[in-house]
A and B are shown apart, each in its own frame.
Chain A
Amino acid sequence: MLENFKNTSLITKILYLFTVVLFLVWVIPSMVGYYSQVNEYQTNLKKIEQSASKYGLENNTKKFNMERFQQEARLVFDDVNVKAVSDKKYGVAIKMKKEDIKKFHVFLEKISLRFYVQVVGALEFNSKEKEVEVNMTLLTL
C-alpha cells in the first residue's frame, strides 16, 4: 500500500495531502460546529416549547405581519392600531377598559410566542376616565 503510494506521481501525492489537510482544517471543524449548533438549537427550541405549553399554545410562531397581528389583537381588545415606525419597528396602540388590564398582561406574555417580535423600550399607559391606552413599540426578529 505504502509502496503503491510512493510510486504515485507528485501531483497525486500533493492532491492526497491537500485532501487530508482540507479534511482536517475545514470538514472536521464544520462537522463539529454543525452538530454543536444543532444541540444548542434543540435546547433553545425546547425552552420555547415549554413556554408555549405554559400558555396553552402550540409552538407555531409566525413571521410578523401588521394585518395579521391587528386581526389577532382585535380578538382580545376592541381598539388596536398598528403603524410602521421604521424598517423593522412597529408602533402599537391598544385601548381597553381599565378592568381588562390583566388581559393585556397575558397578551404581552404571549406576544413573542405568536409572532417573531420583541417589545422594545417602555410601555406607556395613559388613563382617561374608565379607559386605558397603552402604547408600545414592537421590533421584528
Chain B
Amino acid sequence: MQNQQYVTITHYKEREFYFLNYAIQTNDGFIMKDIEQFHESEKDAFIERIRELQAIYPKNQTISLSLMANQVVKDREDPQQASARIFKENYVVQEKMDIGNIPVTLYFSPFAVLYEEYKEKLGDKLTLLIGYFDRKLFIMFATADKIDQSWIIGTRGLSEKQIANRVYKSMKAYYKISYKFADQVEMLVSDDSPKLLKVLREELSMNILPTQKTIHALLHYMGAEQSRFASSYIKSFLSSTQQSERASSTYTKSDNIDASAVMGREAVAENSLNDIRLNQQTETANETKTSGSFLDKLIGKKNKSPDTSKATGLFAFLPLLFVLLTGGYFTVEKSYIQEKMNLVEAQSLAQSSNELLSMTSRDIFSSMGKSAELNRAIISNENIELKGVVWGIEPLRNSLTNLYSDGEFIIKPLENFMTEFSFKSKV
C-alpha cells in the first residue's frame, strides 16, 4: 500500500556535509520532520536515503538549492547555461547544474527563494533584498517589475560586524552606479545566528527586520505548490537525451505519482521545451546582446566568486613558492660552499703547519754544520729530540741554544773516543 501523501524532500550541501529533510504537505502548510546530516564521505548512504524516501512517498518533489557563487541575474536567458526565470524580465543564470548524481526534481536559486519570500512587499519603490545562505550574501535591488542590480558577496571568515559592513558597502556601491538608495531593506537569514541579526540591526541605520528561516523550510515552501515553482526552478539546457537520462535517474515510478504532481511535472517539462524553443529562436540575436549583469561590470572585483578566491589563494602561494625556492637554493649553496671552505681552510692550515715543520727541520740540520752528525731525530712543531755524534761540542751547543735557548744539551763520551750528544727542547 503506497503512501498517498504529497511530500517535499529537501537537501543541500554546506561545506562537507549534506543536509536532508522531508515534510508532509497539507492544506494548512507543511509538517517538517527531523533534519538528517551526512558527511560527504557518506554520499552513497545519503543518495540511498533520498531514494528510500522517494519510494515511501511516491508523490514527492525532491528539491535542492544552488549555493554556487557564479550565479548571475540577467535580462535574458542563456541557451548555453542553466537558468530560471524570476520576475518578468529577469533570469538567474549559472554555468551548469552542479548536482552530480544526487536525485533532484526542483533546483532553486537563492534569488528565486528571495523573490518568492518578499514579492508581496515589492512595489514601485526600490527595495534591497538580501539573502544570507551558506555564508554568502545574495543581494538584489528590486522593484515589483524587475531586478535593477544583483550580486553575491562572500563572507567566509568575517565577523558579524564585518558582514554588516559588507551589506552597508553594497548599498554604497549601488548608490555610486545608480545614484539611488534603497527605500527599504529586507533580509532573509538561513543560518541560526541571533548575534548576526542583532549586529545587523545595530550597525545598519535603516529599519531592517531580518527574517530567519532554515533552507529546508524555504525549500518546502517553494515546492508546496506547482504555481509557485513552475517557472522559477533552474532548468538545464542540456540535450534532450541527457535530460531524459537525468529525469529517469531522479524521478521515482511515475505510476505512483498523484495527478497534481504529474500535472506539475508535465507543466515543468512543457516549460522546459518552451524555454528551449524560445532560446533557439533568439539565440543568435542574443549572443551579441547578452552580457553579464550590471553589477558584474560595476564591481567585478568586489563580487568574489569561488574561482576568484581560488585564484587569490593560489596567487598567495606564489610569493611563498618564491621564498621557499630562494631559501632552499641559498641553504643548499651555503652548505656546499661551507664544505669547500672547510677543505680550503684545512689545506691552508696544513700548508702553514708543513712549512713550519720544514723550517724547523731545515734549521736543525743546518745547525749540525761540520761539528756533528745526527743519528736519530724526532722533529715536530711541538718539540724536538736529537741524538748524534759530535766533534765540536761548543759550536754545536751554541748553535742549538741559539735556536732553542731552553733546550737540554747532554754529552756522553763513547768507548771509541767519540762523543755522543743528545738534545731535547720544546719548539
- Enumerate A19-78 residues with CB–CB distance to B below 8 Å: 19, 22-23, 26-27, 30-31, 33-34, 37-38, 40-41, 44-45, 47-48, 51, 61
How far is B338's CA from A41's CA once the two chains are assembled, in angstroms? 8
B355 / chain A contacts, CB cutoff of 8 Å: 109
**Closest B residue by C-beta to A125:** B377
- Contact, CB under 8 Å: A141 / B347: yes
A108 / chain B contacts, CB cutoff of 8 Å: 354, 357-358, 361
- Contact, CB under 8 Å: B156 / A9: yes
- Enumerate B332-387 residues with CB–CB distance to A below 8 Å: 333-334, 337-338, 340-341, 343-351, 353-355, 357-358, 361-362, 365, 373-380
- Contact, CB under 8 Å: A123 / B353: no
How far is B317's CA from A49's CA once the two chains are assembled, in angstroms? 46
Among B309, B320, B349, B379, contact of A125 (Cβ-Cβ < 8 Å)? B379
Whether, in the assembled complex, B319 has its beta carbon less than 8 Å from a beta carbon of chain A, the answer is yes
- Contact, CB under 8 Å: B327 / A44: no
How far is B347's CA from A113's CA once the two chains are assembled, in angstroms? 8
Number of interface residues, chain B, beta carbon within 8 A: 50
**Closest A residue by C-beta to B362:** A105
B378 / chain A contacts, CB cutoff of 8 Å: 122-125
Question: Can you show 13 pairs from A to B with CB atoms below 8 A apart?
Answer: A11-B313, A15-B316, A19-B319, A26-B323, A44-B344, A48-B344, A61-B347, A118-B346, A122-B380, A124-B377, A125-B374, A125-B379, A127-B388
Residues of B within 8 A of A (CB): 156-157, 301-302, 304, 309, 312-313, 316-317, 319-320, 323-324, 326-327, 330-331, 333-334, 337-338, 340-341, 343-351, 353-355, 357-358, 361-362, 365, 373-380, 388
Residues of A within 8 A of B (CB): 4, 7-12, 15-16, 18-19, 22-23, 26-27, 30-31, 33-34, 37-38, 40-41, 44-45, 47-48, 51, 61, 101-102, 105-106, 108-109, 111-113, 116-119, 121-127, 141
